[in-house]
């Protein structure tokens, strides 16, 4: 079965990363969510990637805060797409996580999204878009979602014009 793997560096990341899970559920995309640290449990993380790929993982979403670099560790161990979600934490409020996630060496890509909740949602959407490349039903769901978002914006803007 094809699915998206969500890997968090810490259980404290769950309150944000559940947004990825909710987004995947909204589209009916199967996912697996685990906690595995690139620094505290590197062997577990490496073994998990191999097992997840054998089970059908198509895309990995990796969330970590501070200078932890879970997304990079995943990218080093797979050729599947890896999407990194920097978590807001520490004195730099996620800017260190953003930089450590986005600054990958050439040939070792990590798709990096916004810090925090918006990033968690967008990582799920990107994973869905990747999965939709080979799934026409999922592609239609994405198109319908985009249309409904456009209609909402149109309604919101017409309300503004009425006020003006």
Query: Residues comprising the binding site?
Result: 10, 13, 40
> Hey, which residues does 8 pair with through a beta bridge?
35, 63
Binding residues for substrate: 10, 13, 40
* Rounded Cα distance, 45 and 88, in Å: 22
CB of 6 within 8 A of CB of 107? no
| Residue that the structure tokens 């998206």 belong to | 4
CB of 60 within 8 A of CB of 83? yes
CB of 79 within 8 A of CB of 25? no
CB of 71 within 8 A of CB of 61? no
What strands, in cross-sheet order, belong to the sheet with 111-112?
Answer: 31-35, 3-8, 57-65, 82-87, 111-112
CB of 129 within 8 A of CB of 141? no
């Amino acid at each position: 079965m094809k699915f998206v793997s969500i890997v968090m560096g810490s259980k404290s990341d769950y309150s944000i990363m559940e947004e990825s899970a909710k987004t995947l559920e909204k589209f009916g995309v199967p996912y697996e969510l685990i906690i595995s640290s690139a620094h505290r449990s590197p062997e577990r993380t490496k073994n998990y990637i191999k097992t997840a790929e054998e089970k059908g993982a198509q895309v990995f979403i990796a969330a970590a805060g501070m200078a932890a670099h879970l997304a990079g560790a995943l990218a080093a161990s797979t050729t599947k797409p890896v999407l990194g979600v920097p978590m807001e934490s520490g004195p730099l409020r996620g800017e260190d996580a953003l930089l450590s996630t986005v600054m990958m060496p050439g040939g070792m890509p990590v798709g990096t999204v916004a810090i925090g909740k918006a990033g968690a949602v967008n990582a799920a959407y990107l994973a869905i878009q990747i999965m939709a490349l080979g799934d026409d039903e999922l592609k239609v769901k994405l198109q319908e979602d985009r249309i409904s978002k456009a209609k909402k914006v149109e309604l919101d803007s017409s309300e503004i014009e009425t006020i003006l």
